[in-house]
């Protein structure tokens, strides 16, 4: 075992709130303080308290977390978990300890919304301020948010904060300072762009956007820090599906066409929220498209109606292509509304199905197989996944609502080789995405740690749990000096 960076005994009981007691501003259980608006950033780094033994190789690196933090403004509140104004966090592992800092993303949306005291550019389920009139005034260039509160991605050395829009914001991963919007240097108009770009084995940055028109198109694009997007493939469709992510394999990108389908005119003329511009049309089914990264050729397969935020992996198997997805039974909008989550209403989205689609050469329909596990926010060893199928999958999950499960409270691991599904339950806590960080020089695919943002009822602030990725045993816990509002995805910045 590697040396510990810092080891201290657990906090004395007197320093903690009584078990189960809600925090001072909590509308529900103490763990649900993660859904409470936080208006103050921590720009000057503060010391975190480390329990247990941190692997020495984490030193010099940083866990970056992204997520919403301000859901409530004086004049009006955001309606959905996905919509709060973005706050970036940095948990920096040094030679002598761990330091925590945070900084708000300085976007046009944040500036306008703070000035006017209301959500100005809307969000997933929050309408643009001004409603239909605003839409009509901006019909040729619809206003769309740049509140990149969902994903952090490195493009050609430049760090970006993204949401489901083509407006992306550059930031410094060391200071968290906003560095302005990435201005696209091309003429493409892609009002919808996946929140999750992907990076290939050569470091190339890829993403998928949607172009509206009489014939709508998905465009697979690559880009570098110059902002010039190059179109690799175009896939036509009548009504494109909801787009959050896509899958990248060694030689193919896989785009799934959700049966939650956009109504292009509503994006231009309706005064509703982003999510209300989609219709769930299960009778039309879905399609899965595989783009050859070499020549841009596209093959497509029919599939049952599906809704999916995230892919686990995609890989080639002979002439066939395999893609594993986290599939929900229907679009997830209402159950992740911020007031429902604050009230502790169970969210089934924490238990998406783990589904494999085999896209066989010469077949018109995808073959569907249910895989073990129900989870979301999946993680794999990304480098291994770009070379072929992975053996290990980690994710966040929850107990079945019928058994009292309400929200993410555990880390799971599925081993494709053994078929074994293991879990680490954080009793009385919320436990979000388990970010996999491989040990430098590691041989085994699961040699590394999982960094899991947790908040228990009796924690003073959020706690980053450091789990052994092979065994799910806890090696260390890093107590942050404050609550980190619940977000979605993190990133590791190595030393
Ligand atoms: Fe996501």
Q: How far is the CA of 153 from the centre of ligand 1 (A)?
A: 12
Q: How far is the CA of 490 from the centre of ligand 1 (A)?
A: 10
Tens of pLDDT along 175-233? 999 999 999 999 998 989 999 999 999 999 999 999 998 899 999 999 998 999 999 99
Radius of gyration of the chain (CA): 22
Q: How far is the CA of 489 from the centre of ligand 1 (A)?
A: 7
Does position 359 have pLDDT exceeding 70, yes or no? yes
pLDDT at site 141: 58
* Distance between start and end Cα atoms, the chain: 20
Q: How far is the CA of 83 from the centre of ligand 1 (A)?
A: 13
Q: Which of 5-9, 234-238, 322-326, 383-387 has the lowest mean pLDDT?
A: 5-9
Closest CA relative to residue 439, chosen from 133, 57, 86: 57
Closest CA relative to residue 161, chosen from 143, 142, 141, 176: 176
Q: Measured between alpha carbons, how far is 421 from 237 in angstroms, rounded to an integer?
A: 38
Q: Measured between alpha carbons, how far is 93 from 99 in angstroms, rounded to an integer?
A: 7
Q: Measured between alpha carbons, how far is 55 from 316 in angstroms, rounded to an integer?
A: 35
Q: How far is the CA of 124 from the centre of ligand 1 (A)?
A: 13
**Averaged over 253-266, what is the pLDDT?**
92
Q: How far is the CA of 313 from the centre of ligand 1 (A)?
A: 14
Q: How far is CA 194 from the centre of its chain?
A: 11
Q: How far is the CA of 64 from the centre of ligand 1 (A)?
A: 15
Going by the DSSP 8-state scheme, the letter that residue 363 receives in this structure is -
- pLDDT category at 137 given cuts 50, 70, 90 is low
Which is more confident, 17 or 445? 445
Q: How far is the CA of 18 from the centre of ligand 1 (A)?
A: 34
Tokens (6 digits) for 216: 């709508």
Place of tokens 């395999």: 322
Q: Measured between alpha carbons, how far is 259 from 283 in angstroms, rounded to an integer?
A: 8
Q: How far is the CA of 52 from the centre of ligand 1 (A)?
A: 30
Q: How far is the CA of 9 from the centre of ligand 1 (A)?
A: 36
Tens of pLDDT along 104-134? 999 999 999 999 999 988 888 888 877 655 5
Q: Measured between alpha carbons, how far is 394 from 8 in angstroms, rounded to an integer?
A: 29
Q: Measured between alpha carbons, how far is 199 from 384 in angstroms, rounded to an integer?
A: 13
Q: How far is the CA of 263 from the centre of ligand 1 (A)?
A: 22
pLDDT at site 125: 86
Q: How far is the CA of 280 from the centre of ligand 1 (A)?
A: 20
Q: How far is the CA of 308 from the centre of ligand 1 (A)?
A: 10
* Per CATH, domain 33-493 is 2.130.10: yes
Does position 428 have pLDDT exceeding 70, yes or no? yes
Exposure letters 67-86 (e unless 16+ CB within 10 A, then b): bbbbbebeebbbbbbbbbbb
Closest CA relative to residue 356, chosen from 371, 335, 373, 343: 371
What residues does 240 pair with on adjacent strands?
A: none
Q: How far is the CA of 428 from the centre of ligand 1 (A)?
A: 24
Q: Which of 18-32, 268-282, 379-393, 458-472 has the lowest mean pLDDT?
A: 18-32
Q: pTM for this structure?
A: 0.92
- pLDDT category at 285 given cuts 50, 70, 90 is very high
Mean pLDDT score of the chain: 90
DSSP calls for 436-454: EEEPTT--STT-EEEEEEE
Q: How far is the CA of 377 from the centre of ligand 1 (A)?
A: 7
Q: Would you list the domain boundaries of the chain?
A: 33-493
Closest CA relative to residue 282, chosen from 247, 312, 327: 327
pLDDT at site 160: 98
Q: How far is the CA of 481 from the centre of ligand 1 (A)?
A: 26
Q: How far is the CA of 147 from the centre of ligand 1 (A)?
A: 14
Q: How far is the CA of 244 from the centre of ligand 1 (A)?
A: 6
Going by the DSSP 8-state scheme, the letter that residue 427 receives in this structure is T
């Amino acid at each position: 075992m590697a040396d510990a960076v810092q080891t201290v005994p657990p906090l004395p009981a007197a320093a903690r709130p009584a078990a189960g007691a809600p925090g001072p501003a909590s509308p529900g259980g103490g763990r649900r303080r993660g859904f409470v608006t936080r208006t103050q950033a921590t720009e000057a780094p503060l010391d975190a308290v480390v329990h247990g033994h941190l692997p020495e190789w984490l030193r010099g690196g940083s866990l970056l977390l992204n997520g919403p933090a301000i859901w409530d403004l004086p004049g009006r509140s955001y309606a959905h978990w996905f919509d709060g104004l973005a706050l970036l966090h940095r948990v920096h592992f040094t030679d002598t300890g761990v330091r925590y800092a945070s900084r708000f993303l300085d976007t046009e949306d944040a500036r306008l919304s703070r000035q006017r005291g209301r959500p100005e550019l809307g969000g997933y389920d929050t309408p643009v301020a001004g409603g239909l009139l605003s839409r009509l005034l901006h019909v040729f260039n619809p206003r769309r948010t740049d509140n990149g509160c969902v994903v952090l991605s490195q493009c050609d050395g430049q760090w970006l904060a993204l949401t489901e829009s083509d407006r992306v914001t550059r930031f410094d991963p060391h200071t968290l300072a906003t560095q302005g919007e990435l201005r696209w240097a091309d003429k493409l108009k892609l009002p919808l762009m996946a929140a999750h770009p992907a990076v290939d084995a050569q470091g190339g940055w890829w993403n998928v956007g949607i172009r509206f028109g009489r014939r709508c198109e998905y465009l697979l694009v690559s880009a570098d820090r110059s902002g010039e997007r190059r179109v690799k493939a175009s896939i036509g469709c009548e009504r494109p599906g909801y787009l959050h992510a896509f899958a990248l394999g060694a030689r193919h990108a896989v785009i799934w066409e959700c049966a939650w389908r956009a109504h292009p005119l509503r994006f231009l003329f309706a005064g509703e929220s982003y999510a209300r511009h989609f219709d769930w049309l299960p009778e039309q089914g879905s399609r899965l498209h595989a783009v050859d990264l070499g020549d841009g050729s596209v093959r497509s397969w029919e599939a049952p109606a599906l809704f999916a935020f995230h892919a686990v992996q995609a890989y080639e198997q002979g002439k066939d292509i395999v893609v594993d997805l986290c599939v929900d039974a229907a679009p997830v909008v209402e159950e992740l509304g911020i007031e429902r989550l604050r009230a502790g209403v169970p969210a089934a989205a924490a238990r998406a199905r783990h589904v494999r689609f085999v896209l066989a050469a010469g077949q018109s329909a995808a073959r569907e197989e249910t895989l073990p596990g129900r989870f979301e926010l999946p993680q794999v060893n990304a480098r291994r996944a770009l070379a072929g199928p992975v053996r290990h999958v980690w994710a966040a999950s929850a107990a079945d609502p019928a058994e009292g499960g309400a929200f993410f409270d555990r880390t799971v691991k599925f081993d494709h080789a053994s078929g074994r599904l293991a879990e680490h339950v954080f009793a009385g806590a919320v436990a979000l995405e388990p970010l996999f960080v491989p040990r430098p020089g590691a041989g085994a695919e699961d040699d590394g740690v999982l960094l899991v943002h947790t908040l228990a009822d009796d924690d003073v602030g959020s706690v980053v749990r450091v789990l052994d990725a092979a065994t799910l045993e806890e090696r260390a816990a890093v107590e942050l000096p404050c609550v980190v509002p619940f977000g979605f995805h993190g990133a590791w910045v190595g030393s």
